[in-house]
Each structure stands twice: as structure tokens, then as C-alpha cells.
Amino acid sequence: MQTRTLGQNLEVSALGLGCMGMSFSYGAPKDEAEMITLLHKAVDLGVTFFDTAEVYGPWTNELLVGKALSPIRNKVVIATKFGFNCVAGAAPGALPLNSHPDHIREVADASLQRLNIDTIDLFYQHRVDPDVPIEDVAGAVKDLIAAGKVRHFGLSEASAATIRRAHAVQPVTALQSEYSLWWRRPELEIIPTLEELGIGLVPYSPLGKGFLTGAMSTETTFAANDFRSKLPRFTPEAMKINQAFVDLLAAIAKQKNATPAQIALAWLLARNPGGKCQLVPIPGTTKLSRLEENIGAAAIELTPADLAEINTAAATITPEGARYPEALEKMTNR
């Protein structure tokens, strides 16, 4: 697989792997042995970039990633996140934010232990804490970098103004934010800011939390412990309207002998390929077949005509339903 560079010098595979769903948010945690096999298979297929967070579980996803990847540490780049006061069994939306410098240092030490590594490659602030100046957050991570515990600093779902303030204290290597064909708000202000500053973008939910794969319909139901059951975009009414995005992807996929998921990822990979803001999507999966399908997207070439067709058609579709409940949406773009 080809590689891309986030920020100034963090080289990673063009597609990463989001690990959250292996332990958290999409129903019951998956079998540990199966997930370790999946993680190893991802490495065999060329993936070098893996994403986790202390809040996923909480803690259990970092333990899983550490168990699977620490024995092959020299082959992988591991990103994790701080920013919440974690409590066992609580959903992130119910957890208080905490990015005080002393807490950041505590989380770094605990994450290093759970991941069984000496240095965190990319340490994101998971959500901006309005009670802690971003300069203090950036300064705390800068100290961790100086101490050798962290290599790179990242932000997640931060506003352009916050990105600029943080970057002035400690260069930001990457911003992680939701970005896909049905959530394009980063194009308005975020991506131009990242391009100006030379910061990479790591799109999470690049497949619309599974919706853009085409595997769902208005008949799809979600378990109570699947957080999509609480998302406005996943009501039957919203999915009926949003099916237009899947139909668009399916039409292009038919031309390319591909799948809707592969076209959704290829569309992201084709965005700004020569710019200073490199995009590295991190689709998550717990299935080997989906892993192989997603990685296959890296080999698909969309021509300028293909991209124009997709963008023109997508511009006529208005996504139905908010992406998050109000309380969670308020934690973004700060």
C-alpha cells in the first residue's frame, strides 16, 4: 500500500484502521482472539496506522491493540487519545471532559502501559475542553514530546481557530474529524486551514458508520448498546432519504467493478492528493472480508470526470438527520 505523510514527517499507510468497534459502541465487544487475528492481517495487507483511545471500552481497546501490535511495534504507528474522565460502563457523552495538564500526563502514562509501548506515535485531544486553554493542552503535550513519551500532537473535531492557537504552541500533526460523502462540513473552513498550516486530516467514519457500504436499509435495527440506535441519521425515515448517497456510490461502483464502500473511500483518497493537507481515512471493521474490501479501495483510481460526476450528483442530495444528538454535537467544532 502507498504511504502518506501527516504533518511534517509522520509517514503512515494511505488507509488506516479504526479499532473502536472491536471493543466499543457497535454492540458487544468482539472476540479478542479474532480481533488480534484481524489486526495482524491488516498489517500483512500493508496497514501501518492504527487508531484507538482510552475511552473506547473504556481502556479495553487500548489493551487489545497493545496485545496485538506491541510485539510488532517496529511495523506500526499507534494513535490514541486523551480528554475525558473515564468511568467504566459510561458512554462518552455522559463523561466529563478533562484536558487539564496533570490529567493529560496521567493518561499518557496509563495509555503507554496499556499499549505496552514506550512512545505514543500520535496523541490526540479527543474533544476540546472549554475549561482548559488550548495553549495549556498543547504545552502539556509538548512537554510529553520532549520527554520522549509522545512523538506527535493531534486534535479531534476542533475548530479552525482552536487549531491555529494550538499549532502556535506545538505543531499539530493531524486533525481527526468525521468526513465522508455525507458529512462534508470540514470542506468549509477546516480543510483550508489544515492546508495552510500543513496539517494532515484523518477522517473517521469515512463510511458513514457503515451506512455508505450499502449494507443497511429501513428494515435495519440496532441493539440498545449500538450507539447508532441513538443517532438521528439512523432512523428509518432518515435512512430512506439518505439511501440516495448509497445509490450514487453504487452507480459509480458498477462502472469501476467495485463496491459502494470502496468508492466512498476512493473518493476521500482522491481529495487533495498533492497538497499539504494529506488525507488518511481510518475505516473501522471487525470482519476480515470488510477489511480486505476496504483496503482494495486504495487501488481504485477515480478520474477527474468520476470525481466531478460524484460531486455534482452529491450536491443535489441533502443529508437527512443530525449526525449526533445535540449534547454530543455541542462537543465538536470548539
Q: For the stretch 66-102, what's the b/e string if a residue is b when 16 or more beta carbons lie within 10 angstroms of its beta carbon?
A: bbbbeeebeebbbbbbbbbebeeeeebeebebbbeee
Q: Which amino acid is at 65?
A: V
Annotated catalytic residue, options 26, 56, 124, 179: 56
Q: Contact 298/1 with Cβ under 8 angstroms?
A: yes
Check residue 30 and report its DSSP letter.
P
Element (H, E) at 32: helix 32-44
Q: Contact 150/117 with Cβ under 8 angstroms?
A: no
Q: Contact 128/145 with Cβ under 8 angstroms?
A: no
What are the C-alpha distances in Å from 196 to residues 99, 171, 256? 26, 13, 33
The three-state DSSP-derived secondary structure of 279-292 is: ECCCCECCCHHHHH
Catalytic site residue 56?
Answer: yes
CA distance 18 to 49: 9
| Residue found under cell 457500504 | 213
Q: Contact 12/78 with Cβ under 8 angstroms?
A: no
Element (H, E) at 261: helix 260-269
Cell of 211: 451506512
Catalytic residues: 56
